[in-house]
Amino acid sequence: MDEFNNRVTLLKEGSESKGPVIYWMSRDQRVHDNYALLYTQKLAQERNRPFGVVFNLVTDFLNASFRQYDFMVKGLEELEKELRVYNIPFFLLTGEPAEELFRFIESRHISILVTDFDPLRVKRKWKKEVGNRIQIPFHEVDAHNIIPCRYVSGKQEYAAHTLRPKIHKHLPEFLTEFPDLKKLKNTEAFSSDPVDWKSVHREINVDEKIGKVDWIKPGEYSAHQTLKEFLEEKFENYAADRNDPVKDAQSDLSPYLHFGQISAQRAALEVKKSGGNPESEIAFLEELIVRRELSDNFCFYNNCYDSINGFPEWAKVSLQHHKNDKREHTYTLGQFEKAETHEDLWNAAQKELNATGKMHGYMRMYWAKKILEWTKTPGEALSTAIYLNDKYELDGRDPNGYTGCAWSIGGVHDRPWAEREIFGKIRYMNRNGAKRKFDIASYIQKHDG
DNA sequence: ATCGGCTCGCGCAA
DNA sequence: TGCGCGAAGCCGAT
């Protein structure tokens, strides 16, 4: 029994050689507070072997845009430097994961492979393909969730209220300080050459039209700075203002959390240490822990997390029942993307997304609900919302995004509401609700002025 | 400003 | 088997 208990899953048994232990980093792109890296170090030290980190860059990952690659790759550049401080070798591979990992493991005589947990299909497929080709033991560590996804629940949870008690039950055991990453002695036996980042940038094959943004700096260091500033400057009013898209009240941590440049557990620990406004603490930890980890639960246990087949039965039946309802407005993907609807509030949200790579949380719900209202079918609505989310959001392709779209359009984790046109029993949202909550005119002015 | 009804099903108490 | 209650709401009544 140690701190890795229940965080580690043996994906594949195998026979160890005598070579180095390697952490195939994927979702958790950080040096500090990373249980996958700490576990790799532990395995290596117990066996008195060297260890290192490998990252495989897929150059056209699910249509990622330049904005997202730039954020990730700059984070990796910083990661390489920070690993060097600890004398931990870092290797960057590019190409098909199964092929690249297999070749790397063979040529370097790797003895054990460790990776991090990710509920998304494409990551699970890569792991399966890698596992099929290697003969060494293959471990997976949930370094992303505070309570490991596989451990907190063995099934798809119905709603936040069914997962919440399970999380809270385990928090005293899991929400604890991290063990230290130990600095290694410099060793010639297992070392890496510096990565040629210029050539990496040339290899990336992405949509350059979605440019980088300058309001947020990528990397682990900036992630910690952002957390610090949030606690110092915004935390007091977080509970009161977080749902007001005109106020700058949110933590802005989601891009960092998505790429694993900061650990949610670190954020939770710092919030508790700071002892700020108790209402803000409750509200923030609810979003940071319960809702985030509910998203991982949904994507891990529901293979249809990005299709209408993943919706609950009552929602599927109800949407089906209303599929022929007359739509007053319908728009094509291109019209949505260019923010060319009849409604200035919706257009402002899309423009916020296009320009900044981050739409406010309240507006993400409103935005997706209107896409349902203004497309021909719920299936088209869902794929439109996911396409735009994944293309423009800095935290695109995150379980949070898929789950948010499924909540808005498909009633996932929600309850049925009074039946109405198009929506059926799916919770409705409209401009009046937004008007009650915040100053619509200033939001529109801010993003569409 | 605030309240109840809307509507389904999970999970716990009994 | 019954019952309370739920990820961010809407609407009409008071």
pLDDT digits (tens, 9 = 90+) for A43-60: 999 999 999 999 999 977
Query: What does the pLDDT read at residue A223?
Result: 98
Indicate yes or no: strand C within 7 A of the C-beta of A429.
yes
Query: How sure is the predictor about A103, in pLDDT bands with cuts at 50, 70 and 90?
Result: very high
**Shortest CA to C1' contact from A292: nucleotide:** C7
B10 C1' to A159 CA distance, Å = 9
Q: How far apart are CA A3 and CA A148, in angstroms?
A: 12
CA of A361 to C1' of C4 (A): 29
Any atom of strand C under 7 A from CB of A165? no
Give the mean model confidence (pLDDT) for residues A229-255. 91
**Top-confidence residue, A344 or A206:** A344
CA closest to C6 C1', residue: A161
Q: Is A428 near strand C, with its CB below 7 A from some atom of it?
A: yes
- Of A7-16, A352-361, A439-448, least confident by mean pLDDT is A439-448
| CA pair distance A251, A227, nearest whole angstrom | 7
Q: Which nucleotides on strand C sit less than 7 A from a protein beta carbon?
A: 5-11
pLDDT at A310: 93
- From the Cβ of A285, is strand C under 7 Å away? no
| Nucleotide in closest CA–C1' contact with A286 | C7
**Closest nucleotide to the alpha carbon of A364, via C1':** C8
A362 touches strand C (CB under 7 A): yes
Where is A56: in which H helix or E strand?
strand A51-57
| A341 has pLDDT over 70 | yes
Round to whole Å and give the CA distance between A117 and A425. 35
Is it the case that residue A179 has pLDDT exceeding 60? yes
Return the pLDDT at A279.
Answer: 84
User: What's the CA–C1' distance between A253 and B3, in Å?
Assistant: 37
Q: Which residue is nearest to nucleotide B11 (CA to C1')?
A: A162
Distance A410 CA to B11 C1' (A): 23
Per-residue CA distances from A7 to A116, A142, A227 (Å):
10, 5, 25
State phi, psi for A48 to the nearest 5 degrees: 55, 50
- Percent of chain A at pLDDT exceeding 70: 99
Neighbours of A194 (CB within 10 A): 10
Using a CB cutoff of 8 Å and minimum separation of 24, what contacts does A336-345 make?
Answer: A336/A371, A336/A374, A336/A384, A336/A388, A337/A388, A339/A448, A341/A370, A341/A374, A343/A370, A343/A431, A344/A444, A344/A448, A345/A431, A345/A434, A345/A440, A345/A443, A345/A444
Q: Is A417 (CB) below 7 Å from strand C?
A: yes
| pLDDT score at A32 | 98
Q: pTM for the complete prediction?
A: 0.96
Residue A295, nucleotide of least CA–C1' distance: C7
What's the CA–C1' distance between A215 and C3, in Å?
A: 50
Q: Which residue is nearest to nucleotide B8 (CA to C1')?
A: A416
Strand B nucleotides with an atom less than 7 Å from a protein beta carbon: 5-12
- Strand C reaches within 7 A of the A21 CB: no
d(CA A109, CA A50): 12
CA of A412 to C1' of C4 (A): 21
Does residue A286 contact residue A156 with C-beta atoms inside 8 Å? no
3-class secondary-structure state, position A9: strand
Higher pLDDT, A440 or A120: A120
Predicted local confidence at residue A1, as pLDDT:
55
Q: Which pLDDT score is estimated for A258?
A: 97
Q: Gap from A116 CA to B6 C1', in Å?
A: 44
Mean per-residue pLDDT for A279-304? 92
Q: What is the dihedral of CA A429, A435, A436, A442, to 10 degrees?
A: 130
Residue A62's pLDDT band (boundaries 50, 70, 90)?
A: low
- Measured on CA atoms in the order A206, A208, A209, A212, is the torsion positive or negative? positive
Contacts of A216 (CB under 8 A, 6+ apart): A71, A222, A226, A252, A255, A357, A358, A394
pLDDT at A118 over 70: yes
- What A202-207 contacts at long range (C-beta under 8 Å, 24+ apart), as own/partner pairs, is A203/A57, A203/A59, A203/A94, A204/A57, A204/A59, A204/A66, A204/A69, A204/A73, A205/A59, A205/A60, A206/A59, A206/A60, A206/A64, A206/A65, A206/A66, A206/A68, A206/A69, A207/A63, A207/A65, A207/A66, A207/A391
**CB within 7 A of nucleic chain B:** A 157-158, 162, 165, 312-314, 415-419, 425
Please state the rounded mean pLDDT for residues A177-188.
85
| pLDDT for the residue A61 | 66
